[in-house]
Amino acid sequence: MNVNTDSVPLNVGDRLVARSQVEVKGLVHWRAPMTSDLSGTVPAGTVVEVKHEPGPSASVVYCWPIDYDAVAELLIPSDERDSLKYDGYGLVIHLAEIGGAWSLLDSLGD
């Protein structure tokens, strides 16, 4: 079942959990006027927290993993993480994946 964001809005601080191993995309932030993209796979049980509420016509939500450093090690090469210009990252979760690859933690009874 997909989440209808009109009837079940996502709020800053809501948490989602990966139901199984899932492909993700995101952005790497730099202490420079740029970002770069990232993609990879996170394991089942990965928990992310909503950092920005999706707008009314949004198709994605911006999240940070709760285990931020461990997920960074999976997705971002060490030479990038070790760079003085590295300034973190975030993941972009498609709203259509909620109820499929991702579940709201509260919906699991947690």
| Predicted pLDDT of residue 8 | 53
Handedness of CA 46, 52, 56, 60 (dihedral sign): negative
Round to whole Å and give the CA distance between 23 and 78.
20
pLDDT at 7 over 80: no
Q: What is the pLDDT of residues 21-55, one digit of tens each?
A: 999 999 999 998 889 999 999 999 999 999 998 88
The pTM is what? 0.84
Nearest to 64 by CA among 72, 74, 76: 72
H/E element, 67: none
Parse the chain into domains and list their residue ranges.
15-108
Q: What is the pLDDT of residues 60-104, one digit of tens each?
A: 999 999 999 999 999 999 999 999 999 999 999 999 999 999 999
pLDDT at 109 over 70: no
